[in-house]
Chains A and B, each alone.
Chain A
Amino acid sequence: MSTGTYRQWVSRATPGCVVILLDRSDSMKLPWGATGGSLAAGAALAVNNILLDMCVKATIEVNAPVRHYFDVGVFSYGARITGPGGEGVESAFGGALAGRGLVPLPELAANPFAVRDEPSIDAMPVSVKMPVWVDPVHGYRTPMCQAVEVAGAHVFDWAAAHPDSFPPIIINITDGMVTDSPYQGATLQDWVKRLTAIETSDGPALFFNIFLSPTDAHEVVFPNTPAGLPLPGPELFALSSELPPTMVENARADGYDVRPGARGLAFNVGRSTLLRVLQIGTRVPDRSR
């Protein structure tokens, strides 16, 4: 059970924090359903979509800066594309934001490294101009513990600086099993416990998991029990935070049958579900109009 109230509204005085952990392991090269693209390409597209969503929501008026409603980080684990390369964890941002940890939303909005014609996330036969902050990459194994550690360091500092904000939201997008547990003597469960022990006055940090499936497997979204989930479903269920009430409302409004005790876990999801879950998981209390 979560102990937070999760009621704090996002404003520039109390901005929110969203961290996405993006699996860039070798298996992300697999094709994703009938889309023709890889898991890595679909995940990057969804991440770019949710970053654009956040920028759009914070765009309020003409000739006015995008409002600083969030600090946002995207950390990849698996193949590294900067520094020495190889396997590891790094900021997934490209261009001017390369190497940056948490980035204020106005700075994010001003610094996509490209604007490209991208296919619709719903696999409709249309393409749209999309700002790009994150590119698809895959290779090596799945150092998820290290990713949680890196995210935790950033989140810890952020929570200390924003003690009255809505707690940090960390969303892990993966298609595989952790390969570095235990890491520095601690298991993945231990690392996640440390991460979710970080809190603001509004509650502990939230850790959500989205497990991608390259095939048209049965999707399970926001379950309230691990029963029936294939591996690594039960483990991810145990690691996932309970959805706060406002997110339960958002999920129900989006058509999901969310039961009491539902966790922030989506299992075997396809591309459009990935984006919907990201939208629900990053929407914190605000005014609907």
Chain B
Amino acid sequence: MHAWQVVFSAPKHGNDPWEWEDGAAAAPEDPATGRGPRFAVADGATEGFGSARWAMRLVEGFVAADVELTERSLLGWARRAQDAWRHDPVLSGASGLELFKLDSVGSLATFLGCELELGPRPRWRAVALGDTVLFHVRGHRLVAQFPSIAADDFGTNPAGVPTAPTALPGALGRVDFAEGDLAAGDLLYLATDAFAHWAVREDGPALWSALAGLDHPERFRELVEDRRAAREMTNDDVTLMRISVAARRPDQLVVCV
């Protein structure tokens, strides 16, 4: 069994692409440790400081670090991420206003990390904090949603990984875990809240068929812009990672530049 991912993203309407404050990362399986491929998506707080750096540090750390999917191990991983974020060399050039916000506000990011086991009994295991969501789709039908958030409940969950050290143990106490079996042809989607909220409302074969067929970043951005214009999707940074699971690797690799 093999798995590969593609990431689609769109910044808030009115912002430039480089102002996207989500994070997405993936790492292949590690034969040395036997660990399966990992995938992660995070959504940095719009009102935070350094949120893009925080979201990226979380996802890159999760897919690369020696961290287990347990609350205790995740706490250590998040502490190391906080320390690295707080002592980022780029902060040496911070202004008084920037340092004030770093100390008084900091940042927060929702997080969803996922590891696949592609052995005899393929399955996914995931950890979530906040409202970044994993959708497991088989045959254009939704098999599982994690975390299970109803359409009316998006935006009401402030959980996330904070940059404030004192807030970390309490925040990690709210972490959720889930797992599910996989089959060849399955698709996993990791989506930040604006897209996930819309997907929960639109759930059905037409939605999942359309998302399975997304083949270009511009088509994704058009989809997001159209839904925003129709006021069906909130104007937020949007990230969608599509993970394909199949018995053999794809015959072609398409790169959009």
Contact = CB atoms under 8 A, between A and B. Distances in A.
Interface of A: 7, 9, 11-14, 55-57, 59-63, 66, 109, 129, 286-289
Q: Sorted from nearest, which 8 A-B pairs have the closest CB atoms?
A: A13-B14, A11-B14, A287-B46, A289-B45, A62-B94, A59-B101, A9-B235, A56-B101
A151 to B, nearest CB: 26
B97 A63 contact: no
Contact of A11 (B13, B97, B155): B13
B184 interface: no
Contact of A56 (B43, B97, B110): B97
Contacts of B108: 289
A62 B48 contact: no
A48 B191 CA distance: 40
Given A286-B46, A288-B158, A11 B101 contact: no
Given A60-B19, A61-B51, 6 more contacts: A57-B47, A61-B52, A62-B102, A63-B93, A129-B96, A287-B47
A61 B158 CA distance: 21
A129 to B, nearest CB: 8
A59 B46 contact: no
**Chain B interface residue number, banded:** 35 or more
A288 B50 contact: no
> How would you classify the secondary structure of chain B's contact residues: helix, strand, loop or mixed?
loop
A66 B130 CA distance: 28
A13 B229 CA distance: 14
B97 A62 contact: no
23 contacts: A7-B231, A9-B12, A9-B234, A11-B15, A12-B15, A56-B97, A56-B100, A57-B47, A59-B97, A61-B49, A62-B91, A62-B95, A63-B90, A63-B93, A63-B98, A66-B97, A287-B45, A287-B47, A288-B47, A289-B43, A289-B110, A289-B130, A289-B158
B115 interface: no
A175 B53 CA distance: 46
Given A56-B97, A62-B90, A289 B160 contact: yes
Contacts of B117: none
A53 to B, nearest CB: 11
Contact of A59 (B14, B98, B160, B231): B98
Contact of B94 (A63, A129, A287): A63
Interface string B80-113: 0000000000110111111011101100101000
Interface of B: 12-15, 19, 21, 43, 45-53, 90-91, 93-98, 100-102, 104-105, 108, 110, 130, 155, 158, 160, 231, 234-236
A288 B44 CA distance: 11
B90 A289 contact: no
- Most B Cβ at <10 Å: residue of A55, A56, A62: A62
Nearest to A63: B93
Nearest to B43: A289
A185 B189 CA distance: 64
Contacts of A13: 13-15
Nearest to A128: B100
B105 A56 contact: yes
A269 B96 CA distance: 32
B14 A61 contact: no
A64 B94 CA distance: 9
A109 B97 contact: yes
Contacts of A288: 45, 47, 155, 158
Contact of A55 (B91, B93, B97, B105): B97
A55 B143 CA distance: 45
B236 A287 contact: yes
Nearest to B98: A62
A72 B233 CA distance: 29
Contacts of A60: 19, 21, 49-51
A9 B236 CA distance: 10
A289 B46 contact: yes
Contacts of A9: 12, 234-235
A233 to B, nearest CB: 34
